[in-house]
């Protein structure tokens, strides 16, 4: 008898960003005077919008008095936040999503991972490659991914390559899939799908009675027209798609923790509403995001909060432009960074392996990147640079790399 879940033993020993943190820590310890510039994990560096900070202070004060203190909140989130999301993120874009279809959480990472709790055995998964590693690792933990092949792929996953040769657009399959994970604007490549391209996948899902898990964590970074902010802008998506959103990159909430997932009532599997199942899962295993985080998140929807959050996005996008332009000038092939805070960069010919280039950048330039292969086999030969640093350090990193 297995005392522990044997699927955990199939996983790589550490999660991608833990491995990077480990290598970075070891290097820093051996080289205490090195001034590392972190452009690896997409973690924010700017202070949060003052409207959010004020709202969180007020929330703390409310907890201090007998009249306004709060205990457990509603597991799916306070109505003040779900209503604000419904109005500003959906109704304002012509999409009808009711508060009862919105589940507030501690972020998109946990929701994209936890949703696989709902999967039955033998599910056919389609996952883009490269991809945010959480989708694959979480499915591997749940026994839905089969076995690793030693080259970064899993036997139970159908990979949908999104690379330079297909313009980073996953091609439709003839084969049947039950669940397809899509993340756009994309992490890690920073690329997007146009409405017509996303519509093809929605049509596929409707035809195949499949589900699309749409990770829209980077939606606020969209600058171009015709790039959908929500999958529900596509007709029919309310019958086949779950959408994940996050306040982490939108308003600097990586440490505060708050996000949400939309599960429309019309999304069903074998006649069962996923909304009811997700509610059952969440009410059992999750007690809701803190009142303080939710008050902070609701402030993003005030005029002042919105303006401040958009200023943060603009700041980070300016860094993305700095990276893209500097690296392109130096002859690197670059993608993304226009509608996303990530720039996806082909490694130079003398460093065909992502980890080797990562190591070179760390040791010779003191710049931390993320090796593309950490996001899947199609990421080999690429690195990702994150735009979440300061203007000064981003420019300094470019100077160091190009020197």
- Give the interface with ligand MLT as residue ranges (CB under 6 A): 41-43, 109, 132, 187
Q: How far apart are CA 126 and CA 131, in angstroms?
A: 11
Least separation in angstroms between CB 248 and ligand MLT: 6
Q: Are strands 241-246 and 211-215 parallel, antiparallel or unpaired?
A: parallel
Please choose, from the candidates 50, 95, 101, 62, the residue with its C-alpha nearest in 3D space to the C-alpha of residue 79.
101
Residue 350 vs residues 61, 325, 347: alpha-carbon distances, Å: 58, 22, 8
CB of 249 to ligand MLT, least distance (A): 7
Compare residues 41 and 172 and give the one whose CB is closer to ligand MLT.
41
Closest approach of ligand MLT to the CB of residue 388, in Å? 8
Least distance in Å: CB of 50 to ligand MLT? 24
Residue among 48 and 177 whose Cβ is closer to ligand MLT: 48
Q: At which residue do the structure tokens 């792929």 appear?
A: 153
Minimum Å gap between C-beta 331 and ligand MLT is 26
Min separation Cβ 75 and ligand MLT, Å: 22
Pick 187 or 261: Cβ nearer ligand MLT: 187
Q: Which residue is nearest to ligand MLT (CB)?
A: 42
Q: How far is residue 5's CA from residue 8's CA, in Å, rounded to a whole number?
A: 6
Q: Please, which residues bridge with residue 334 across strands? A: 345
According to DSSP H, which parts of 43-88 are helical?
Answer: 50-63, 79-85
* DSSP three-state, residue 14: coil
Radius of gyration, CA atoms only, the chain = 21
Q: Return the ∠ at Cα 389 (arms to 383 and 392), rounded to 5°.
A: 115
Region of 319 (left: φ > 0; alpha: ψ -120 to 50; beta: rest) is alpha
What kind and span of H or E run contains 269?
strand 268-269
- CB of residue 137 vs ligand MLT: minimum separation in angstroms? 11
Closer to ligand MLT by CB, 24 or 98: give it: 24
Closest contact distance (angstroms) between CB of 386 and ligand MLT is 6
Cis peptide before 220 (omega within 30 of 0): no
Shortest Å distance, C-beta 32 to ligand MLT: 26
**Contact (Cβ atoms closer than 8 angstroms) between residue 323 and residue 337:** yes
User: What does 314-349 look like in DSSP terms, one character per residue?
Assistant: HHHHHHHHHHHHHHHHTT--EEE-SSSSEEEEEPPT
Nearer to ligand MLT, 255 or 331 (CB): 255
CB of 107 to ligand MLT, least distance (A): 8
Decide whether 255 or 271 has the Cβ nearer to ligand MLT. 255
* DSSP assigned state of 214: E
CB nearer to ligand MLT: pick between 178 and 378:
378
112 or 275, CB closer to ligand MLT? 112
Strands 179-183 and 334-336: unpaired
Residue number with CB closer to ligand MLT (59 or 397): 397
Biggest CA-to-CA distance, the chain:
66
Phi, psi values for residue 10, rounded to 5°: -85, -15
Pairing of strands 342-346, 370-371: unpaired
Q: What is the DSSP letter of 89?
A: I
> Which CB atom, from 131 or from 177, has the smaller least distance to ligand MLT?
131
Structural tokens at position 403: 């020197």
């Amino acid at each position: 008898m297995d005392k522990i879940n044997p699927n955990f033993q199939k996983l790589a020993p550490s999660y991608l960003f833990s491995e990077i943190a480990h290598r970075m820590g070891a290097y820093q310890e051996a080289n205490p005077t090195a001034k590392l510039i972190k452009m690896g994990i997409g973690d924010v560096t700017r202070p949060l919008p003052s409207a959010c900070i004020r709202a969180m202070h007020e929330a703390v004060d409310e907890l201090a008095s007998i009249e306004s203190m709060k205990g457990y909140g509603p597991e799916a989130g306070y109505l003040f936040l779900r209503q604000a999301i419904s109005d500003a993120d959906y109704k304002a874009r012509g999409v009808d999503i009711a508060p009862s279809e919105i589940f507030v959480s501690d972020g998109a990472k946990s929701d994209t991972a936890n949703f696989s709790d709902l999967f039955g055995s033998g599910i056919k998964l389609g996952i883009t490659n490269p991809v945010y590693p959480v989708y694959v690792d979480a499915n591997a933990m749940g026994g839905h991914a089969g076995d690793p092949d030693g080259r970064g792929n899993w036997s139970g996953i159908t990979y949908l390559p999104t690379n330079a040769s297909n313009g980073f657009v996953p091609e439709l399959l003839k084969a049947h899939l039950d669940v397809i994970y899509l993340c756009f604007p994309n992490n890690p490549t920073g690329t997007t799908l146009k409405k017509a391209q996303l519509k093809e996948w929605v049509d596929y899902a409707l035809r195949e009675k499949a589900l699309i898990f749409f990770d829209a964590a980077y939606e606020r970074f969209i600058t171009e027209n015709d790039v959908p902010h929500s999958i529900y802008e596509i007709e029919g998506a309310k019958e086949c798609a779950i959408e994940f959103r996050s306040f982490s990159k939108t308003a600097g909430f990586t440490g505060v923790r708050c996000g949400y997932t939309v599960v429309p009532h019309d999304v069903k599997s074998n006649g069962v509403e996923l909304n009811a199942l997700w509610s059952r899962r969440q009410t059992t295993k999750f007690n809701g995001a803190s009142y303080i985080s939710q008050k902070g998140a609701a402030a993003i929807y005030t005029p002042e909060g919105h303006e401040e959050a958009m200023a943060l996005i603009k700041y980070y996008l300016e860094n993305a432009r700095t990276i893209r332009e500097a690296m392109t000038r130096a002859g690197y092939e670059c993608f993304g960074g226009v509608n996303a805070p990530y720039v996806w960069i082909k490694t130079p010919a003398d460093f065909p392996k992502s980890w080797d280039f990562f190591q070179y950048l760390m040791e010779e330039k003191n710049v931390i990147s993320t090796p593309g292969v950490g996001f899947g086999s199609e990421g080999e030969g690429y690195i990702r640079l994150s735009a979440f640093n300061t203007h000064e350090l981003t420019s300094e990193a470019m100077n160091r790399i190009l020197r």
